[in-house]
Amino acid sequence: MLIADDIKLDYSDVLIRPKRSTMNTRSDVSMKRTHTFLHSKEEWTGIPIMAANMDTVGTPDMHKVLSEFGMITSPARWYLKNDPTAFSSNYKDEYLCMMGGIDDIDVIKTNSVMYKFIGLDVANGYTIRFVDAIKELREKCPDATIVAGNVVTADMTQELILAGADIVKVGIGPGSVCTTRIKTGIGYPQLSAVIECADAAHGLGGHIIADGGCTNSGDIVKAFAGGADFVMIGGMLAGHKECAGELEDGKMKFYGMASETAMGKHGNHNNYRGAEGKTVEIDYRGEVGYTIKDILSGVRSACTYVGARQLKSLSKCTTFVRVNNTHNRIYE
């Protein structure tokens, strides 16, 4: 048994200190980023915010709206096997990221022509089997931009990139409908995970997605400020017109993909696996476009507070100040 007693931080543990800025308006901020990926050598330009590959959020209607903003949708996994053309039929869509499980590699390969990003998404990215699966997917799809996750530490981020991943998904347990930390005691404060994994990935020429834990636009800002190349959100997009599910009494259901609801729907029950997610009811929030505009407004505003004319510059302009402690400390 070891105890790591150095400080680790969640989004709620910090604020960003404002700095003198020569910017006059939020409209001066460029939200688009251009990334060139390590293994695929492909280039992508857009706003690097992603809808999570969850049943209620990763829908064709969500993709239609987000793509208009230049943002990415990760289709819910069941589309991969049951309706892979629901989002795009005959061309590589710049704003789609199709991810499946280890046993879905051949299906992913077959449909990879339709998606800008493909990948493998598992709860535990630390197994040798998962690393071998990334190697296999890279071998079968040598020119694809591959996403792999989830992990929360620098060493495993590097291993996945060296195995063939272009982008590593970072986050274990921070999501609003994930109960992994409660059920298993496993996890890592999300901001520190993002900072450490981003540093490891960028050292090799790779990229990361900050996956989970964002409950408002300020959290998204902190993820980008910590070095995330992409930020994936689920709960912030739940409860909208574009989500799957019925509207009852002004509410819509939102659930984790390891919840009883999801396992029952997809037949994932077995005698050794319990639920590590929950189902909640979300107040109906109307069209998602209004929420997206509000999120982007928050990120733009943050950039003006620190003098970042481009989203790319935000992390270089950031000074984090610890707030949830008795002795404030500053991290630049």
187 Cβ contact list (under 8 Å, min separation 6): 152, 172, 173, 174, 180, 181
DSSP bridge pairs for 255 = 279
177 in helix, strand or coil?
coil
Measuring CA to CA, which residue among 14, 40, 46 is closest to residue 230? 46
- How many whole angstroms separate alpha carbon 81 and alpha carbon 31? 34
DSSP letters, 133-145, are HHHHHHHHSTTSE
Kindly give the pairing relationship between strand 72-73 and strand 14-16.
unpaired
Contact 130, 154 (CB under 8 A): no
Burial 157-186 (b: 16+ CB within 10 A, else e): bbbbbebbbbbbbbbbbbbbbbbbeeeeee
Q: Give CA 74 to chain center in angstroms.
A: 9
Give the catalytic positions in this structure: 178
What are the tokens at 215?
């409950």
- How many whole angstroms separate alpha carbon 76 and alpha carbon 61? 12
Contact 229, 50 (CB under 8 A): no
- How many whole angstroms separate alpha carbon 257 and alpha carbon 104? 16
